[in-house]
Amino acid sequence: MTLSTRYAAGSLLSVRDLSVTDVSSVLELAARLEKMEAAERARILSGRTVALLFYESSTRTRTSFELAAKSLGATTTLVSDKSSSIEKGESLKDTGLTLRALGAECIILRHPASGAPFVLARETGLPVLNAGDGMHEHPSQALLDLRTILTRLHGTQAAAGVTADSLKGVTVVITGDILHSRVARSNALLLPRLGARVILCGPEKLLPQEAAELGPGVEIERDFDRALRQSQVAMMLRIQKERLAGLELDLGDYIERYQLNGERLAATAPKALVMHPGPMIRGLEIAGDVADGTQSAIEEQVAHGLRVRSALLVRALDGNI
């Protein structure tokens, strides 16, 4: 599925919009940006305006996009519900049109409603970068996760481009609250396209059976240990206690069955790469020592985020480099 002409080129609403070639060129762009001198990088989007429209707070993603835009020399403007700069009751369409009228050339949107970026992109005609929409997707996160996996498993060189075989032989287990996770959806939809096998893991309430129908290359395994034994990458997801309460899930039981701790990791996947999109709850889905251990790539994920998001902005604004 390719991006329909109803959306501006350079939009990234879902990982499904990206062909393998698109993914490859984003990674290649990220690699080139990384090698560049800071001063040179700051000229790429100089004089350009990017709006960050955040209906949901997210320190990590917002800061990452903001720093990426600034490092490229763009002017950023943040509109968030927290700063109450979003007009109460105004529609997403009208807010988008206002930002466009004020000169925004690209909008980065974080929104609690699944699909909101599609509305914004359709109605404004601007390139829109989905920075997380409801329970749907978080495509830039999947791309930064991909870059992290490639760098760790195959080296920096391999992370500067991909083919449909780049992750052949690699199994990634994604564990936790898959139902509510946009990170899980984006990764499960993206990684198999590059040859990976994705195992989704978690209890029925957080991982309904229909998740197996997400796409080819996606399977479900309820037994975490069995899943880990097959995996080269373990991607852990945050568990929000309030959600567990609503689903009548026993927290102790969850930790027992699904927490990634040192003992479990050593026994089942002593070499696997450990990832977490953050923010994590140490002692719940992941043990502190594992998060800080040598197998963990959690901090690198953040660094890759900056590069991948820079590349997405350059792509969205068709920057000259």
Partner 1 sequence: MSDILIFGGRLIDPANHIDAPRDLLLRDGHVAAVEAPGALRGATAAETIDATGMIVAPGLIDVHVHLREPGQTYKETIATGTRAAAAGGFTSVVAMPNTVPVNDTVAKLEWMLDAARDPAIKLFAMPAATVGSMGAELTDFDALRTAGAVGFTDDGKPVLEDHVMRAALVAAARAEVPVSQHAEDTRLTGGCSMNAGAVAFRLGLRGMTVEAESRIVERDLQLLRDIEKKEGLRPHLHVQHVSTARAMQAIRAAKQEGLHVTCEVAPHHFTLMDEAIGDYDTHAKMNPPLRVEADRAAMVAALVDGTADCIATDHAPHAAHEKEQEFERAPNGITGLETALGLALRVLHRGQGLSLSRIVSLMSTTPAEIIRVAGRGALGRGHFADIVIFDAGAEWHYDAKTTLSKSHNTPFDGAAMLGKVKATISEGRIVYRG
Helices (H), the chain: 20-35, 38-44, 59-71, 92-101, 116-124, 139-154, 182-190, 224-229, 241-246, 251-258, 262-268, 288-292, 298-317
Q: Given candidates 116, 183, 196, 235, which one binds partner 1 under the rule CB under 8 A? A: 116
Residue 13 found at the interface with partner 1 (CB under 8 A): yes
Of 59-67, 72-80, 82-90, 115-123: span binding partner 1 (CB under 8 A): 115-123
Of 26-34, 130-138, 157-165, 222-230: span binding partner 1 (CB under 8 A): 130-138
**Is the Cβ–Cβ distance between 43 and 49 less than 8 Å?**
no
CA distance linking residue 310 with residue 307, whole number of Å = 5
Please report how close the Cβ of residue 16 comes to partner 1 at its closest, in angstroms.
9
Residue 246 found at the interface with partner 1 (CB under 8 A): no
Residue 137 found at the interface with partner 1 (CB under 8 A): yes
CA distance linking residue 319 with residue 262, whole number of Å = 45
Of 168-176, 182-190, 244-252, 282-290: span binding partner 1 (CB under 8 A): 182-190
Residue 96 or 161 with smaller CB distance to partner 1: 96
CA dihedral 194, 272, 251, 142 (to 10 degrees): -30
Residue 191 found at the interface with partner 1 (CB under 8 A): no
Residue 178 or 287 with smaller CB distance to partner 1: 178
Q: Given candidates 54, 65, 118, 254, which one binds partner 1 under the rule CB under 8 A? A: 118
Q: How far is CA 216 from CA 58, 108, 190, 198, 219, in A?
A: 31, 29, 10, 9, 9
Please report how close the Cβ of residue 249 comes to partner 1 at its closest, in angstroms.
18
Residue 248 found at the interface with partner 1 (CB under 8 A): no
Residue 22 found at the interface with partner 1 (CB under 8 A): no
Of 145-153, 155-163, 205-213, 233-241: span binding partner 1 (CB under 8 A): 205-213
CA distance linking residue 252 with residue 290, whole number of Å = 19
Please report how close the Cβ of residue 8 comes to partner 1 at its closest, in angstroms.
14
The tally of CA atoms less than 13 A away on the side-chain side of residue 229 is 7
* Non-local CB neighbours of 260 within 8 Å, separated by 6+ positions: 175, 234, 236, 274, 285, 286, 287, 290
- The owner of tokens 């369409």 is 93
Of 128-136, 151-159, 291-299, 306-314: span binding partner 1 (CB under 8 A): 128-136
CB neighbours of residue 159 within 10 Å: 24
Of 28-36, 76-84, 207-215, 260-268: span binding partner 1 (CB under 8 A): 207-215
CA distance linking residue 272 with residue 208, whole number of Å = 26
**Is the Cβ–Cβ distance between 215 and 187 less than 8 Å?**
no
**Is the Cβ–Cβ distance between 306 and 71 less than 8 Å?**
yes
Lateral strand order in the sheet of 233-236: 218-220, 197-201, 171-175, 233-236, 273-275
Residue 4 found at the interface with partner 1 (CB under 8 A): yes
Residue 208 or 283 with smaller CB distance to partner 1: 208
Q: Given candidates 49, 58, 114, 230, which one binds partner 1 under the rule CB under 8 A? A: 114
Residue 110 found at the interface with partner 1 (CB under 8 A): no
Residue 133 found at the interface with partner 1 (CB under 8 A): yes
Residue 214 found at the interface with partner 1 (CB under 8 A): yes
Sites of contact with partner 1 (CB under 8 A): 4, 13-14, 91-93, 111, 113-116, 118-119, 122-123, 133-137, 179, 182, 185, 189, 208, 210-211, 213-214
